């Protein structure tokens, strides 16, 4: 990092966009939070914000972590677009194009989950861990994978929120995923918890019996992630994870399923260094976008 580094970063969500100018979490020059309205208005407010700082002292690049699904593949005609989102007015919207044309600097581009994974890997709870997984559990469930120093795209990008899980004995709930019913997202997302409990997840007490099932299913999913990717650490974030004191139950369920099969010091005791909470308190995405900008500047 040199003293002259300065980037723009956007974490774009369904309700708000977080905009930052700076070079690292401890070197933030400016920040703004704007509501997500129409694409044209929201992007114009982004452009206005960054142009103000860019004119004063140039930004080397912009990094974007965006709600999706988004098109990450440079060869695609819709690269840089939000694609088939259910969010009204935002389907098949070019994001990278207008930003790049207005600011005339390189624009790096990831989905929101990958941006958060990059944030945790560079500044947060997954620092020095490779491979690493960041899993967010909220309205949806999504995961990002760091492997070989880069966020993994693959054919499309991971969609690990939709893995299929065994039914826990006695649990008759059929899940809420419109594609897969009882997949992980269908079982533990905010809407799944609300459907199970008959009221919003946010209104349940921490000792509500629903949390035990949520923790048990998350432990199963982490078992599969551990077996398939052999990560050095799994970082958990998102609104549901913050509720219900889930972490000890998730770790206990994972430990039970592993059943001493994987032999490594990290799997001894209570998995306290293997399954951890996000260290960036809701800022993983926008800090990740700073790192995405840095990579775009180098490309």
CB of 277 to a copy of itself, least distance (A): 19
Cβ nearer to a copy of itself, comparing 103 with 234: 234
DSSP label at residue 140: S
Among residues 125, 148, 86, the alpha carbon closest in space to that of 234 is found at: 125
What would the two tokens of residue 66 be? 């965006």
Classify the C-alpha dihedral 227-276-19-122 as positive or negative: negative
**CB atoms closer than 10 angstroms to residue 269:** 11
CB of 177 to a copy of itself, least distance (A): 9
Cβ nearer to a copy of itself, comparing 9 with 72: 72
Q: How far is CA 53 from CA 2, 12, 39, 65, 103, in A?
A: 18, 19, 22, 20, 11
CB of 163 to a copy of itself, least distance (A): 5
Cβ nearer to a copy of itself, comparing 30 with 163: 163
Among residues 100, 99, 134, 131, the alpha carbon closest in space to that of 116 is found at: 134
Going by their DSSP bridges, the two strands 107-111 and 132-137 should be labelled as unpaired
Cβ nearer to a copy of itself, comparing 103 with 220: 220
Cβ nearer to a copy of itself, comparing 10 with 177: 177
CB of 260 to a copy of itself, least distance (A): 8
Which residues of this protein are in contact with a copy of itself, per CB under 8 A?
84, 131, 143, 145, 147-150, 152-167, 179-180, 182, 220, 223-225, 227-232, 257, 259-264, 266
CB of 220 to a copy of itself, least distance (A): 6
């Amino acid at each position: 990092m040199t003293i002259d580094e300065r980037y723009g970063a956007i974490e774009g969500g369904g309700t708000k966009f977080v905009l930052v100018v700076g070079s690292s979490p401890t070197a933030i020059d400016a920040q703004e939070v704007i509501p997500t309205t129409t694409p044209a208005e929201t992007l114009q407010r982004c452009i206005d914000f960054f142009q103000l700082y860019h004119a004063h002292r140039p930004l080397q690049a912009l990094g974007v972590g965006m709600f999706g699904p988004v098109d990450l593949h440079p060869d695609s005609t819709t690269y840089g677009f939000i694609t088939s989102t259910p969010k009204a007015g935002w389907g098949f919207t070019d994001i990278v194009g207008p930003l790049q044309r207005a600011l005339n600097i390189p624009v790096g581009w990831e989905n929101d989950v990958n941006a958060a994974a990059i944030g945790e890997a560079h500044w947060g709870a997954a620092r020095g861990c490779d491979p690493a997984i960041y899993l967010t559990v909220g309205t949806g469930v999504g995961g990002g994978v760091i492997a070989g120093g880069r966020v993994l795209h693959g054919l499309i990008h991971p969609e690990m929120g939709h893995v299929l899980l065994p039914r826990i004995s006695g649990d008759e709930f059929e899940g809420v995923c419109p594609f897969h019913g009882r997949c992980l997202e269908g079982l533990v997302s905010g809407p799944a918890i609300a459907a199970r409990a008959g009221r919003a997840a946010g209104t349940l007490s921490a000792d509500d019996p629903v949390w035990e099932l949520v923790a048990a299913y998350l432990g199963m999913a982490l078992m599969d992630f551990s077996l398939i990717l052999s990560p050095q650490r799994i970082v958990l974030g998102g609104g549901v994870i913050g509720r219900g004191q889930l972490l000890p139950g998730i770790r206990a369920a994972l430990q039970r399923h592993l059943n001493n099969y994987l032999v490594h010091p990290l799997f001894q005791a209570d998995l306290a260094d293997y399954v951890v909470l996000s260290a960036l308190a809701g800022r993983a995405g926008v800090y990740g976008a700073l790192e995405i900008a840095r990579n775009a500047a180098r490309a």
